């Protein structure tokens, strides 16, 4: 079975920052999934006074960074 070990020297500021990002990655993933869920919900039930086109435009703009950085939260949350 392949194994990966990440080592951080927590006395070094750059390593400490990298460690923090690593341990917060699941929280970030949860936030990204929630953002996508909100967009799906808004698309299914647009608030009164909002057009479907406006909601689509906003959600598409929110999704652009996912595409730009090749991030698929669904892929990240599944077990390998």
Q: How many CB atoms lie within 10 A of CB 52?
A: 10
In a 10 Å sphere around its CB, with 0-12 CB exposed, 13-18 middle and 19+ buried, how is residue 29 labelled?
Answer: middle
Q: Is residue 1 part of a domain?
A: no
Angle made by CA atoms 75, 79, 41, in degrees to the nearest 5 = 45
Position 79 confidence tier, pLDDT thresholds 50, 70, 90? low
Whether 72 maps to a domain, the answer reads yes
For the whole prediction, is pTM greater than 0.85?
no
Report the domain count for the chain: 1
- Does residue 18 form part of some domain? yes
- Flag whether 22 is in a domain: yes
Domain that holds residue 21: 13-77
Percent of the chain with pLDDT over 90: 70
pLDDT digits (tens, 9 = 90+) for 40-58: 999 999 999 999 999 999 9
Considering only residues 49 and 78, tell me which one the structure prediction assigns the higher pLDDT.
49
């Amino acid at each position: 079975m392949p194994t990966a070990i990440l080592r951080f020297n927590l006395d070094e500021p750059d390593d400490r920052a990298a460690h923090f990002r690593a341990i917060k990655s699941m929280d970030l993933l949860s936030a990204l999934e929630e953002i996508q869920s909100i967009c799906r919900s808004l698309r299914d039930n647009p608030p009164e006074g909002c057009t479907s086109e406006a909601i689509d435009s906003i959600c598409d703009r929110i999704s652009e960074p996912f595409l730009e950085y090749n991030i698929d939260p669904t892929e990240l949350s599944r077990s390998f």
